[in-house]
Amino acid sequence: MVTGQTFELTEDEAELYDRQIRLWGLDSQNRLRKSRVLIIGVKGFGAEIAKNIILSGVKSVVLLDDGHLVEEDTCSQFLAPVQAVGSYRAEASLARAQALNPMVAVKADTGKLQEKSDVYFKDFDVVVATECTLSELKRINSICRENNIKFFCGDVYGMFGYLFADLQTHHYAEDVVKLPSGKSDKKAEPVKFTIKETATYVSLAKALSVDWSKSENAKKVNKMDYSYFLMRVLMEFRSKFNRKPDPKHRQADVEKLLSLSKTVLDRLNVPAEKIPLTIFNNLFAEISPVCAIVGGVAAQEVVKAVSQREAPHNNFFFFNPEKCVGFIEKHSSGD
Segment 74-86, tens digit of pLDDT: 999 999 999 999 9
Q: What is the DSSP letter of 73?
A: G
Q: What angle do CA 304, 306, 307 make, to 5 degrees?
A: 65
- In terms of Cβ atoms closer than 10 Å to its own Cβ (0-12, 13-18, 19+), residue 12 is exposed
Angle at which helices 288-307 and 44-56 cross, to 10°: 40
Mean pLDDT, residues 184-213 taken together: 87
| 215 vs 21, higher pLDDT | 215
pLDDT at 94 over 70: yes
Among the residue ranges 3-7, 138-142, 174-178, 270-274, the one predicted with the least confidence is 3-7
pLDDT at 1: 34
pLDDT at 12: 75
- Give me the sign of the Cα torsion angle 231, 40, 84, 104: positive
- Give me the sign of the Cα torsion angle 146, 147, 148, 153: negative
pLDDT at 183 over 60: no
What DSSP element (H or E) covers 291? helix 288-307
Supply φ then ψ for residue 95, to 5 degrees.
-60, -50
pLDDT at 18: 80
User: CB under 8 Å to 153, separation ≥6 — which residues?
Assistant: 128, 129, 130, 132, 137, 140, 141, 163, 164, 204
- Give pLDDT tens digits for 215-226: 999 999 999 999
Among the residue ranges 68-72, 144-148, 172-176, the one predicted with the least confidence is 172-176
Domains of the chain: 2-168+288-329 (3.40.50.720), 170-199 (no CATH), 206-282 (no CATH)
- % pLDDT > 90, the chain: 81
Confidence of residue 138 (pLDDT cuts 50, 70, 90): very high
User: How high does pLDDT run on average in the chain?
Assistant: 93
pLDDT at 185: 60
Confidence of residue 20 (pLDDT cuts 50, 70, 90): confident
pLDDT at 331 over 80: yes
pLDDT at 200: 97
pLDDT at 3: 40
Letter for the amino acid at 194?
Answer: T
- % pLDDT > 70, the chain: 93
pLDDT at 6 over 60: no
Among the residue ranges 26-35, 87-96, 135-144, 241-250, the one predicted with the least confidence is 26-35
User: CB under 8 Å to 325, separation ≥6 — which residues?
Assistant: 319
Confidence of residue 5 (pLDDT cuts 50, 70, 90): very low
pLDDT at 24: 74
Supply φ then ψ for residue 244, to 5 degrees.
-90, 165
Interatomic CA distance for residues 288 and 295, integer angstroms: 10
Mean pLDDT, residues 95-117 taken together: 98
Interatomic CA distance for residues 199 and 314, integer angstroms: 8
Interatomic CA distance for residues 315 and 202, integer angstroms: 8
Interatomic CA distance for residues 324 and 308, integer angstroms: 29
Q: What is the DSSP string of 227-246?
A: HHHHHHHHHHHHHHHSSPPP
Q: What is the largest CA-CA distance in the chain?
A: 68
Interatomic CA distance for residues 105 and 175, integer angstroms: 31
Rg for the chain (alpha carbons), in Å?
A: 21
